């Protein structure tokens, strides 16, 4: 299982989210992906009573899928552009609950670096669509397992100076 962590709450985030998901589904659909947006829950359109229940449901489903990802030797792919707070929480949760054993791969479309906390949590930092395709192709070609992931990650150490 690969958990896709990214914001989609602003027009710019939504555009990037949709672009990446389209590539992942069309070109790497053989991999088992979890896209939280697919839950189809829009809290903005709900009454306060409905929101209260749905917030708990969304939290439970997302947290549960992060645990499934951990149990299936998967990894977390996180878009860091615009630093969505949910994505940051997902990265921290995964790192903490797995004691750093569930790989976190970060992605930027804007060439961003990582702050010290994300840098120390991630095993690879991918910059741009071409690198993402290369990374995933290498991962798939080598068997789409943990060894293939670790091997692919070695080629994407785009860790610049920390952003504080």
Q: How do the domains of the chain map onto residue ranges?
A: 2-154
Q: What number does CATH give the domain 2-154?
A: 3.40.50.450
SS3 94: helix
Per-residue model confidence as pLDDT tens digits over 105-160: 999 999 999 988 999 999 999 999 999 999 999 999 999 999 999 999 999 998 87
Distances (CA, A) of 136 to 27, 95, 126: 9, 21, 11
pTM here is: 0.93
Distance CA 126, CA 109 (A): 9
Distances (CA, A) of 55 to 52, 71, 127: 5, 24, 32
Per-residue model confidence as pLDDT tens digits over 41-89: 777 788 989 888 888 888 999 999 999 999 998 999 999 998 899 999 9
Give the start-end residues of each E strand in 65-158. Answer: 75-79, 104-108, 124-127
Higher pLDDT, 69 or 163: 69
Distance CA 31, CA 104 (A): 16
Torsion of CA 98, 19, 161, 140, to 10 degrees: 50
């Amino acid at each position: 299982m690969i958990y896709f962590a990214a914001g989609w709450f602003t027009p710019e985030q939504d555009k990037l989210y949709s672009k990446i998901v389209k590539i992942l589904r069309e070109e790497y659909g053989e991999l088992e992906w979890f896209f939280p947006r697919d839950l189809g829950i829009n809290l903005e359109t709900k009454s306060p009573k409905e929101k209260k229940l749905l917030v708990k449901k969304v939290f439970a489903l997302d947290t549960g899928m992060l645990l499934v990802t951990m149990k299936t030797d998967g990894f977390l792919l996180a878009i860091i552009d615009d630093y969505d707070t949910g994505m940051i929480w997902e990265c921290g949760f995964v790192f903490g609950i797995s004691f750093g054993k569930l790989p976190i791969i970060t992605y930027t479309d804007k060439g961003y670096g990582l702050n010290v906390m994300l840098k120390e949590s991630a095993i690879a930092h991918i910059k741009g669509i071409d690198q993402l395709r290369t990374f995933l192709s290498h991962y798939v070609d080598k068997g789409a397992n943990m060894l293939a992931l670790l091997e692919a990650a070695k080629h994407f150490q785009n860790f610049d100076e920390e952003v504080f």
